[in-house]
Amino acid sequence: MQIAMESAVLPASVSSAEQSLCSVPWRLSKHGSSLQRNGNNMLAGQGLMQAWKFKPEKRRTNMHVHAMLKKSRRKTPDFEYPWPVKFKPGDLDGSPLPFLSRFKPLPTPPKPVPLPFELPLVHIQKKIQEIRETANTTGMDFSEQLSELQEKYDEVRKDLYNQLSPVQRLSVARHPNRPTCLDHVLNMTDKWLELHGDRAGFDDPALVTGIGKMDGMSFMFIGHQKGRNTKENIHRNFAMPTPNGYRKALRMMQHAERHGFPILTFVDTPGAYAGIQAEERGQGEAIARNLREMFGLRVPIITTVIGEGGSGGALAIGCCDKMLMLENSVYYVASPEACAAILWKTAAAAPQATEALKITAHELVKLDIVDQIIPEPLGGAHSDPLTTSMNIKEAILGHMRDLLKMEPDSLLKHRVGKFRKIGSVREGEQLDPRFKRNMKPRDAPFNESDQHQLQIPSFVRENLERTLTTASTPAS
């Protein structure tokens, strides 16, 4: 076969991978099948592809293979099989293989759900509609009143949304129409590919991960995904990840570190899933491991809280260099209902709990936990998802530019330092000894030479020095 012998002549369509293979010497057997080469010196998959591309023109064997399709018992088409029967032209552009993703635009636009504090707006809207209807039926001119009412509507809306109380912000954060992580990601990125699986046998729909390209730079996106209607919510488990999700996130973050692209995480969860299966699979351990490993990743990490951030479940992907929050999002250690049930002993005290816990973005900035608040358009994120996504993108890119200038070692130190200073204690003042009666006081004899060191026996010292020398060698 001439194509194989002259290795210098290559058809133009051969990709770089195949080019590298062509430099490997290969002989064509008499039977014209290049499938024999699979066992020798080729990568298995590539060999087959070679075989199909460079098919011999003459068949020298008289073997005919007959294959018959087994009659499948399935009468209805297999819904799991995602490839469409006919490819439409729009199917293949945009993000790679969009029909494989479960996240398609909703068939019906979401119903506007008014929140309880938006009642005056609803009234005004009704009045405007009534006047419009009467104007249509009777033909009289109501434009003055209409414009008046419209102005009033805008004013009331601005007033309401500029001074939201924490309870109102919590209800906006939990709004059913609030844009989810994938909404934001698809708005922000030019190209997006979702990746699944935690390499331990499971996948988690509540936590989505993938690689996306923003402004020519690729990032690893990880986020909790809430559903947009009840059916999706059940599939996504209400954005409460199981240990599988956290292990998937960890694997993706290690992948990003290995290949050197930054990590962006989006937090939007009421908490980690707490069912018995999650416990059996080690929910606590998964979160703990995530926490520990995230402080060793040598790439910048930026976390954005786009909805609610529920304690451990949120923190497991939220150990970051910079934390950003949307204006109406919340971050708590225990949901206000749970907190009310424990401390006030009734769940009805939830509003008080919300006020006291200080969970909104503005209060967290004061506590020095959050670095920047991203403003939402008037009316909350659900009224204008595109603007919200663009705001987030701007904020992220601004911070990322600063972080990318830092060296990896100083980046790690900065991350540890950010969390090291959180927390405030009272110390230095002498406490009433009554408060210390159950704490064991100092027993060891005071030695003038070394104040804080005890006498270490020689074998212990040798052991310690050995660990010191092994620790100072570069980590494998």
Partner 1 sequence: MNSELVPICWYPPQLNEDSAASRKKEIGDLFVIQANKTNEEIVTSVINWFEDRQKFGGLIGAFLEEATRSSMTNERDRRISVNANKGLWARCDNCGNMLHVKFSKQNRSVCEERGYHLSMSSMERIELSIDPNTWIPLDEDMSARDILSFSDEDSHETRILLSQEKTGLTDAVQTGIGYPNGTLIAPGVMDFHFMGGSMGSVVGEKITRLIEYATQRLLPPVLIRASGGARTQEGTLSLMQMAKISSVLQLYQVQNKLLYISVPTYPTTGGVTASFGMLGDIIIAESKAYIAFAGGNKGRGQIYPDGSKSNNTVYTALGTGKIKRIIRKEGKGGYEIIIEESSGGCEAIDVVPPGPELIVSEGEFVKADQPLTNNPNKKQFEKVQLAEMNF
Residue 193 has which token pair? 């590919």
DSSP 29-74: -TT--GGGGGGTSS-HHHHHHHHHHT--SS----------PPPP--
Among 287, 302, 374, 396, binds partner 1 (CB under 8 A): 287
**113 part of the interface to partner 1, by CB under 8 A:** no
Give the three-state DSSP class for 4.
helix
Query: Whole-number minimum distance, CB 422 to partner 1, in Å?
Result: 4
Closer residue to partner 1, CB minimum distance, 251 or 289: 289
Residues 414-453 that bind partner 1 (CB under 8 A): 415-416, 419-420, 422-431, 434-445, 452-453
Rounded to whole angstroms, the maximal C-alpha distance in the chain is 102
- Look-up: residue for tokens 């590539």? 46
Residues 150-179 that bind partner 1 (CB under 8 A): 174
φ and ψ of 268, to 5 deg: -160, 70
Among 284, 375, 398, 408, binds partner 1 (CB under 8 A): 284
CB 165, CB 181: distance < 8 Å: no
> β-strands 207-214, 330-332: how paired?
unpaired
Residues 221-240 that bind partner 1 (CB under 8 A): 233, 238, 240
Part of the chain binding partner 1 (CB under 8 A), chosen from 76-84, 101-109, 340-348, 399-407: 340-348
**288 part of the interface to partner 1, by CB under 8 A:** yes
Closer residue to partner 1, CB minimum distance, 214 or 297: 297
Query: Alpha-carbon dihedral of residues 244, 250, 252, 254, nearest 10 degrees?
Result: -150
Closer residue to partner 1, CB minimum distance, 218 or 233: 233
Among 5, 24, 113, 456, binds partner 1 (CB under 8 A): 456
Closer residue to partner 1, CB minimum distance, 153 or 202: 202
**191 part of the interface to partner 1, by CB under 8 A:** no
**Residue 381 identity (one-letter amino acid):** A
Among 27, 158, 259, 292, binds partner 1 (CB under 8 A): 292
Give the three-state DSSP class for 7.
coil
**Which letter, b or e, does each residue of 5-23 get, where b requires 16 or more Cβ atoms within 10 Å of its Cβ?**
eeeeeeeeeeeeebeebbe
**369 part of the interface to partner 1, by CB under 8 A:** yes
Per-residue interface string for the shown chain with partner 1, residues 297-336, x marking contact by CB under 8 A: -------------xxx--xx-xx-----------xxxxx-
Closer residue to partner 1, CB minimum distance, 60 or 436: 436
**249 part of the interface to partner 1, by CB under 8 A:** no
Closer residue to partner 1, CB minimum distance, 47 or 166: 166
Query: Whole-number minimum distance, CB 311 to partner 1, in Å?
Result: 5
Secondary structure of 376-400 in the HEC alphabet? CCCCCHHHCHHHHHHHHHHHHHHHH
Shortest CA distance to 233 belongs to which of 206, 210, 199? 206
Query: Whole-number minimum distance, CB 205 to partner 1, in Å?
Result: 14
Q: Residue 121: which residues within 8 A CB-CB, separation 6 or more?
A: 114, 153, 156, 157, 160
